[in-house]
Structures are given as structure tokens and as C-alpha cells.
Amino acid sequence: MAMATATAIQKLLPTDAEWPSALQDLSDPPEQLYLLGNADLLKAPQGLVAIVGTRNATSYGERVADSLGFAFAAAGVPVISGMARGIDAAAHRGTLRASGGLPGSGTLAVLGTGVDVPYPTGHRALHEAIATSGLVIAEQEPGSRAHQGSFPQRNRIIAALARLVIVVEAPHKSGAMNTVEHALGLNRAVAAVPGPIDSPQSAGANWLLGAGGQVVCGVEDALALMGVHASTLPPANDLEPVEADVLAGVPSGGAYLDEVAIATRLPVRQAGIVLTSLELKGRVWLGSDGRVSRRV
């Protein structure tokens, strides 16, 4: 196995002992892989779980993906996804939040670009975090940009490397459902989180459930499909009184920042600072739509 020591990029070939045997299940396996990060994650004894979904995720979908990623990492199961906006990014971030210092856990991102090219560009910090404590994988040469067809190619690698594929939110025609097609063709287990019947984001996931996919109605359902159980991480630091007050001001159904500020009688700026602290302590989820929810 050749290694570019200057950039820490590893090139892996099918003839290398480290080559993942699961890729040989593909009718068109990649001719090489480029790796950036902890390659040992490919050898996880219990296998990898893929968490995939739409880029246009709802706050509910992002929250669920984050919770699943966190739970699998806490249980020592690496999570693989595609580092796209929405569900993929939420799953990666949940995993990163839990995996620090836990042996064998972490997150893997398979890119449709070169391994050193963050995509989308707004995920540069996420790319760096995964490369530092997880693993970034690409079939394309380093420096390669996205092109038509690169993401379906990426999806087949995710499906092959995963033992289980979980769809959180996905329309009928989407990259996530393309990953499911590959997974079914490879006899991988597939599952989905049910969503509202009138939500376009959940149309593909709900269809999958009707077609025989395993249903994930909670974190324990997902963990059971991989044969593991929930693991309790050390509790977050004790909350400051103002943090406890603000957390109490977040209703079970979630709320926007200004609503929390009104409920807690705090200036909006101060409420925002406290909510950021609560997010860092793993107590709340700040959705991309600005809505604040308590973590599962």
C-alpha cells in the first residue's frame, strides 16, 4: 500500500491486504481507494452502519440522524455516510460528538470528489473533523472535482461497505434511495425511519417500509439491527443554574430562539449564548431551520 506521507493520503489497491473484502461483492468494484484518516475503522468487527438521507432534511430528520449517529458511536459501531448536507451531515456530527476517545467508534465519509476536496465547500470544517478522528474515503484521484455520475458511484461504495443501511428521510428519487438500490442488490440489510405521509422528504423512506424494509421507531430499534445495545456515556458537566433554566424553557416539541428567550425572560442574545453552551454539552439540538429541540 502506497502512502503519500506529506499529505497523509493513503492509496489502497485491491491487491493490498487492507483492501475491504466487502467491495468485491460489487459487479464493478473500484480500482483503488484513497484514504484520509483512521483506516482501522474499515476493520470494525461488528461492521459498519450507513445512515443516509435527503439534503433537504427537516429539523426532525436531522435530529433523528444526529441521535442515531450518537447512539451507534457510543455503542462502538462506526457510521458511514456521504458528507452531504442534511441527513448525512447530521449523522456524521452526531457520531463525532460521541466517538471521542471511544475505541473502534468513529465516522466514515465517502466522497464523490477527491479525498482532499471537501464537498460541499461549506463542509470544510466537517471534512477536517472526520479526517482527524474518523476516515474520509474516495475513489477519485486526489484533487478531483465532482462530475456527473460521481455520486451514484460513491453510493455503491457506501452500500457495499455497510452491513446495514438506514434511511432517515429521502424522496423517491434521491441519492439515498440509489444507495438503497445498491444495498438491496448486495443483500445488505435495509431499514428506514417512518415520516409523515404528506412529507415529500419521507416518501422514499415510507415506500421502503411498505416494501419490506425494517422499521426504525427509536434508537433501540436501530441498535438491535446491528446486534448492539445502548451504551451510557459519561454525563455532561453539571449545568449552571441559567443553563438549567433555559433547558427547562425548551418545550418537548421544540421552539425558536425568540420563543425560548420569552419563556425564560432573557435577552435573545443571552438565550442564544446559553443554548450554544447546552448544544456543546449535548443537551439540545440546534436545527438548520433555527429551531431548538431537546436531544433524544
CB atoms within 10 A of CB 212: 8
Task: Tell me: do 81 and 142 sit in the same domain.
Answer: yes
State the average pLDDT over residues 185-204. Answer: 95
pLDDT in tens, 75-105: 889 999 999 999 999 999 999 988 654 555 6
Percent of all residues in the chain with a pLDDT value above 90, rounded to a whole number:
66
pLDDT at position 251 is 84
CATH code (residue 258)? 1.10.10.10
Averaged confidence pLDDT in the chain: 89
pLDDT over 80 (residue 206): yes
Residues 214 and 263 in one domain: no
Whether 233 is covered by a domain: the verdict is no
Same domain, 90 and 220: yes
Q: Do 63 and 203 share a structural domain? A: yes
Residues in the chain: 296
Q: How far is CA 104 from the centre of its chain?
A: 16
| Structural element, H or E, at residue 95 | helix 87-99
| 85-106: b (≥16 Cβ within 10 Å) or e | bbbbbbbbbbbbbbbeeeebbb
Q: What confidence score (pLDDT) does residue 54 get?
A: 96
Q: Is the pLDDT of residue 233 over 70?
A: no
Domain count, the chain: 2
Total-model pTM? 0.81
Provide the residue range defining the domain that includes 62: 2-225
Residues 201 and 255 in one domain: no
Instruction: Name the more confident of 288 and 59.
Output: 59
pLDDT digits (tens, 9 = 90+) for 113-155: 999 999 999 999 999 999 998 999 999 999 999 887 889 999 9
SS3 227: coil
pLDDT tens, position by position, 237-264: 568 889 888 988 888 778 898 999 999 9
Do 111 and 66 have their domain in common?
Answer: yes
Joined together, the cell numbers standing for residue 247 give 433547558
User: What is the predicted pLDDT for the residue at 1?
Assistant: 43
Spatial CB neighbours of 143, under 8 Å, sequence gap ≥ 6: 114, 116, 117
pLDDT of 69-78, one tens digit each? 999 998 889 9
